[in-house]
Structure 1
Amino acid sequence: IRHGIVEDWDLMERFMEQVIFKYLRAEPEDHYFLLTEPPLNTPENREYTAEIMFESFNVPGLYIAVQAVLALAASWTSRQVGERTLTGTVIDSGDGVTHVIPVAEGYVIGSCIKHIPIAGRDITYFTQQLLREREVGIPPEQSLETAKAVKERFSYVCPDLV
């Protein structure tokens, strides 16, 4: 997967197989599956995912949801559910890509999605470069892991810019 897009479907199918059988220890024929997809996923990718799940794993049912809609639903607390709708803006920054996704009443507004090819991996590399420039004495073979640890420990998102 590069920048949120599957590049090798055979490898992806093997990954799914390992997750289902080795880690979940599940018989796929006995379970319905909920999968997430990135906001700009193509219909072809969605169809290929469904084909793998139905034909290779014989699942009885499958629902593919856009990650942003589920993120909004996950932000609810039990006392707020009756008062809220699935409307908001989700900023989804992963390892390889960042998306800004507007959602209205549970539907992604596809024409307004912003794709930003900067994400966690870029921040790690930038931190690694800063550490290298400051000559802090980190061995080259440890610099990437150190940069990742620095990023994870000291980076944060400001909850209120005002």
Structure 2
Amino acid sequence: MAGRLPACVVDCGTGYTKIGYAGNTEPQFIVPSCIAIKESAKVGDQAQRRMTKGVDDLDFYIGDEAIDKPNYATKWPIRHGIVEDWDLMERFMEQVIFKYLRAEPEDHYFLLTEPPLNTPENREYTAEIMFESFNVPGLYIAVQELPELVQQEHIFLICCKSLERCALLNTPRLYSNYS
């Protein structure tokens, strides 16, 4: 069934996450990449939060809703393009898939993006979450700039994307839709 439905595209960035379906000219949603959790849940580190399950585990918000919750601790699981808190990122993806895309992950292939210098361990952990937690039938992880270039109708020779507060400048090359 996954071959008949469009692939889900999720571009997670430090500040914003772009969410939509393959074939669309622009994202359906652009939401802040933050998550709001109960104040009591913020005590402790990532390993301690993993052990505490219950109602508080389901009581969280993402995006603009997270920013508007005064009694919740707002967390940003991605810093400088790299995921720093995988538990929060998994919760974030849960809301992205079920609330925003309104998709059954078993029925769609997924295209996710990663920063240019992402580590193989982070890529592996992303795949582990998508396959084991969400049971997706297929996954492609692309460098963030490539989907932006391929989406355009024109042939680009060089695209420069500079990141705010980042010393890295990545210039992917695309010629006749080949990178």
Which structure would you say has the larger Rg?
A: 1
What TM bracket, shorter-length normalisation? 0.5 to 0.7
TM-score where L is the length of structure 1: 0.55
Match of 1:89 in 2: 159
Give the CA deviation at 1:97: 4.1
Match of 1:21 in 2: 98
Please give the secondary structure, in 2, of the residue aligned with 1:104. coil
Distance 1:68 1:99, change over 3 A: farther
Equivalent position to 1:59, from 136, 155, 165? 136
Match of 1:104 in 2: 173
Higher RCO, 1 or 2 (CA under 8 Å, sep at least 6)?
Answer: 2
User: Is structure 2 residue 88 aligned with structure 1 residue 11?
Assistant: yes
TM-score where L is the length of structure 2: 0.50
- Matched residue pairs, number? 99
Q: Which runs of 5+ in 1 are unaligned?
A: 108-162
Q: What is the aligned-residue RMSD (CA, Å)?
A: 1.9
Please give the secondary structure, in 2, of the residue aligned with 1:103. coil
* Aligned-partner residue type, residue 82 of structure 2: I
Please give the secondary structure, in 1, of the residue aligned with 2:83. coil
Distance 1:11 1:91, change over 3 A: same
Is 1:72–1:90's contact at 8 Å kept on the other side of the alignment? no
User: Is structure 2 residue 126 aligned with structure 1 residue 49?
Assistant: yes
Give the CA deviation at 1:99: 4.2
* 2-structure distance, mates of 1:14, 1:51: 14
More strand by share: 2
Equivalent pairs: percent with the same residue? 69
